[in-house]
Amino acid sequence: MFANLLGRLSWQAFPHDAITLGGAVSMVVIGTALFGFLLYTKRLKWLWKEWLTSLDPKKIGVMYVVVALVMLLRGLADASLMRVQQATSVGNSHGLLDANHFQQIFSAHGTIMIFFVAMGLMFGLINLIMPLQIGARDVAFPFLNSVAFWLFAAGMLLINLSLIVGEFSAAGWLAYPPLSELAYSPGVGVDYWIWALQIAGAGSLLSGINFLVTILRMRRPGMKLMHMPLFTWSVLCSMVLVVFAFPILTGTLAMLALDRTLGMHFFTADGGGNAMMYVNLIWAWGHPEVYILVLPAFGIFSEIVPTFSRKRLFGYSSMVAALIAITFLSYVVWLHHFFTMGAGGDVNAFFGIMTMVIAIPTGVKVFNWMFTMYRGRIKFATPMLWFMGFVVTFTIGGLAGVMMAVPAIDFQVHNSLFLVAHFHTMIVGGVVFGFFAGLTYWFPKIFGYTLNERLGRYAFWCWFVGFLLAFVPLYILGLMGATRRMDHYDASLGWQGLFIVAALGVGLVLLGTGFQVLQLIVSIKDRAKHLDKSGDPWNGRTLEWSTTSPAPFYNFALQTPVSGRDAFWEMKQAKATPHAKPQYEDITLPKNSGLGVFIAGFAFIAGFAVIWHIWWAAPLGLFGIIACVIIRAMNDEPEYTVSAEEIAKLERGRA
């Protein structure tokens, strides 16, 4: 009876080996300590009222970034374990991990880094900056924004729970069938993977709709599309990709779940299923996903380079055209992930050529950034260092990508470490460097003080050198024939030296991360010395710098119409005398709501129940969600108004 109530869940599900147990225990201890600290300092209520239930995009953005940075540490721990394993597991020595554990670790590493680090940092930065950049007071659908964040958090919890209860998927970050089908992965690992991504993916889709509408409908009067800052443009393109790509992920994950849970035959080896259909579907989402992540990073660099070069961005229109071209092309290249599937020469040739074509708009962007720097008065602040590191890594990775776009070459290096090195060069050297640059650049806007420059430089150099040390050997190993996802290899292959270099590289990256943690601590401690009183610490060009740092909860007291690009720069140049008496108006803002937390909580319950086949709890989760949505829909007063007099008082206090 009791066993039935808990589905597949039993004591066997809890960890028994030392490494998992260590990870699980440390997670529980840290979680409990944090909770205890909040309880002890009586901050739980404050946390709930000021943060968890907030619909202010600036606060939601901070929560995204916090979650993503914590997950970055987890992903780095996984990466270090893999590097140590491959550096030591050679010949008669078998390293720290057994094969199954190693597979779970690389699956978790990929999944966490893409969905919970890169996506989290991206949505965090969009929430924090995009509304300010278009001169708006809020996003289009603030409640949806909160739901999206909490769904993201619920997915994150689910994936980390797999470390404590049960196991994680051992089928790689994209869980190709038939390996990921019930016949070959009977445990709960793949189900954890499916439901963590399904829940977080639903959140991403909601965010995509929200930000798309925000940019198209809520810009400051006078800001035409071709006046928008390039970060906003890149977000617009990225959100178009989200809107068209994420439903495919939802559908594909649902089909895999139906195969595993209800015995369907979409992708099974028997019953008339078609595993290659999964590979097509998942990459029809997966390839746009890469661009969803990298376009905002391009946008960040397009803000940083002009600011720190004291010049207008070179070739604004061609930058926008390149973004749109990449947006379109990213939908017609997905097959290059599996040239070896055997779709035939014609099909491979088409996708190969389309892939090479993407190098053109990307090249346009890199050259435009260079031309922006040309004869500029460049200030080598940390964000600029990240940019220059990016140019090096991104060009190396891009060249490797164009090589692999040739199907004949791809047949040689498919699923080798050459490929692993390529996409890490793009994702770390492109996306992560970009987001780090963005976080450093906009940190004063978010918290009101700048980050410590010296430690930032140390962190950059450790990351940059460590990154090259870690991945250049992988390019070489790939060409030597080393395949990805190996937990062991023969000593006679002569690979160990390069693997040891790669492990040292990861060590240096970890040191860089240590510097970043230190940078954060030191900056918080010394914040009084680095306060940004002007709201414009870098002599910026776009509207987010026209309000105070940090921005007030209503972002801007006045919706003064703007004209032209680099609106704030123009205002500063014009040195317009402020109007005798600003005409404030009432501002309507959304009230806090805890329903986002509850919706995600019920989604978490439903996901956990389906993973463990606890069939009474799954409908509970579903009905909970429906009830919350209805409660929200019944609320006719979701907003409150701040009167013009109050705004005037607040503005006088800030001046």
Q: How far is the CB of 191 from other proteins (least distance, A)?
A: 18
The interface with other proteins within residues 279-298 (CB under 8 A) comprises 281, 284
Considering only 246, 339, 351, 386, the residue that binds other proteins (CB under 8 A) is 246
Residues 562, 564, 567, 573: is their CA dihedral positive or negative?
A: negative
Considering only 22, 263, 363, 582, the residue that binds other proteins (CB under 8 A) is 263
Considering only 251, 497, 561, 619, the residue that binds other proteins (CB under 8 A) is 251
The interface with other proteins within residues 418-477 (CB under 8 A) comprises none
218 binds other proteins (CB under 8 A): yes
Q: Which stretch binds other proteins (CB under 8 A): 201-209, 331-339, 346-354, 501-509?
A: 201-209
247 binds other proteins (CB under 8 A): yes
In degrees and rounded to multiples of 5, residue 651 shows phi and psi of -65, -40
Q: At what angle do helices 345-373 and 382-404 cross, to 10 degrees?
A: 160
503 binds other proteins (CB under 8 A): no
244 binds other proteins (CB under 8 A): yes
Q: How far is the CB of 273 from other proteins (least distance, A)?
A: 5
Q: Which stretch binds other proteins (CB under 8 A): 41-49, 114-122, 266-274, 403-411?
A: 266-274
- 263 φ/ψ sector (left φ>0, alpha ψ -120 to 50, else beta): left
Give how far Cα 226 sits from Cα of 238, 371, 379, 596, Å. 17, 20, 27, 35
Considering only 53, 80, 250, 560, the residue that binds other proteins (CB under 8 A) is 250
Q: Among residues 108 and 284, whose Cβ is nearest to other proteins?
A: 284
- 268 φ/ψ sector (left φ>0, alpha ψ -120 to 50, else beta): beta
Site string for other proteins, 100-139 (x = CB under 8 A): ----------------------------------------
∠ CA(100), CA(103), CA(108), 5° rounding? 130
Q: How far is the CB of 266 from other proteins (least distance, A)?
A: 5
Q: At what angle do helices 99-111 and 142-164 cross, to 10 degrees?
A: 170
Q: Among residues 167 and 181, whose Cβ is nearest to other proteins?
A: 181
The interface with other proteins within residues 571-590 (CB under 8 A) comprises 588
Q: How far is the CB of 263 from other proteins (least distance, A)?
A: 4
**Residue 599, token pair as written in the block:** 């919706």
Q: Which stretch binds other proteins (CB under 8 A): 11-19, 53-61, 241-249, 646-654?
A: 241-249
Other beta carbons less than 10 A from residue 25's beta carbon = 12
Q: Among residues 250 and 496, whose Cβ is nearest to other proteins?
A: 250
∠ CA(439), CA(443), CA(444), 5° rounding? 155
Q: How far is the CB of 445 from other proteins (least distance, A)?
A: 26
Cβ proximity of 369 and 302 under 8 Å: yes
Say if residue 447 is exposed, middle or buried (CB neighbours under 10 Å; 0-12, 13-18, 19+). Answer: middle
Question: Which positions ≥6 away from 10 have C-beta within 8 Å?
Answer: 3
Name residue 557's amino acid. A
271 binds other proteins (CB under 8 A): yes
332 binds other proteins (CB under 8 A): no
Q: How far is the CB of 9 from other proteins (least distance, A)?
A: 25
Q: Among residues 93 and 588, whose Cβ is nearest to other proteins?
A: 588
How far is the C-alpha of 222 from the C-alpha of 567, rounded, in Å?
10
Among candidate residues 320, 189, 312, 178, the one with its CA nearest the CA of residue 256: 178
231 binds other proteins (CB under 8 A): no
Site string for other proteins, 551-570 (x = CB under 8 A): --------------------
Considering only 89, 146, 232, 252, the residue that binds other proteins (CB under 8 A) is 252
207 binds other proteins (CB under 8 A): no
Q: Among residues 276 and 465, whose Cβ is nearest to other proteins?
A: 276
Q: Among residues 219 and 365, whose Cβ is nearest to other proteins?
A: 219
Q: How far is the CB of 232 from other proteins (least distance, A)?
A: 17
259 binds other proteins (CB under 8 A): yes
630 binds other proteins (CB under 8 A): yes
Q: Among residues 208 and 389, whose Cβ is nearest to other proteins?
A: 208
Number of residues interacting with other proteins: please give it, by CB under 8 A. Answer: 44
24 binds other proteins (CB under 8 A): no
The interface with other proteins within residues 408-427 (CB under 8 A) comprises none
216 binds other proteins (CB under 8 A): yes
603 binds other proteins (CB under 8 A): no
Residue whose structure tokens are 């970890």 = 510
Residues 537, 539, 540, 543: is their CA dihedral positive or negative?
A: positive
217 binds other proteins (CB under 8 A): yes
How do strand 639-642 and strand 587-590 relate by DSSP bridges?
antiparallel
Q: How far is the CB of 410 from other proteins (least distance, A)?
A: 24
Q: Which stretch binds other proteins (CB under 8 A): 243-251, 295-303, 522-530, 576-584?
A: 243-251
> Which value, in Å, is the radius of gyration of the alpha carbons in the chain?
25
In degrees and rounded to multiples of 5, residue 642 shows phi and psi of -100, 125
For the chain, helix, strand, coil in percent to 5 are: 70, 0, 25
Cβ proximity of 121 and 68 under 8 Å: yes
Give how far Cα 319 sits from Cα of 230, 315, 323, 430, Å. 8, 6, 6, 17
Name residue 303's amino acid. E
**Residue 582, token pair as written in the block:** 């600003």
Q: Among residues 210 and 232, whose Cβ is nearest to other proteins?
A: 210
The interface with other proteins within residues 140-199 (CB under 8 A) comprises 140-141
Element (H, E) at 636: none
Q: How far is the CB of 584 from other proteins (least distance, A)?
A: 15
Q: How far is the CB of 600 from other proteins (least distance, A)?
A: 19
Write the DSSP string, 603-626: HHHHHHHHHTT-TTHHHHHHHHHH
How far is the C-alpha of 535 from the C-alpha of 136, rounded, in Å?
17
Among candidate residues 281, 323, 318, 272, the one with its CA nearest the CA of residue 298: 323
213 binds other proteins (CB under 8 A): yes
Q: Which stretch binds other proteins (CB under 8 A): 40-48, 270-278, 427-435, 514-522?
A: 270-278
274 binds other proteins (CB under 8 A): yes
Among candidate residues 454, 465, 470, 461, the one with its CA nearest the CA of residue 518: 454
Binding residues for other proteins, rule: CB under 8 A, are 140-141, 205, 208-210, 212-213, 216-218, 243-244, 246-248, 250-252, 254-255, 258-259, 262-266, 268, 270-274, 277, 281, 284, 588, 626, 630, 633-634, 636, 641
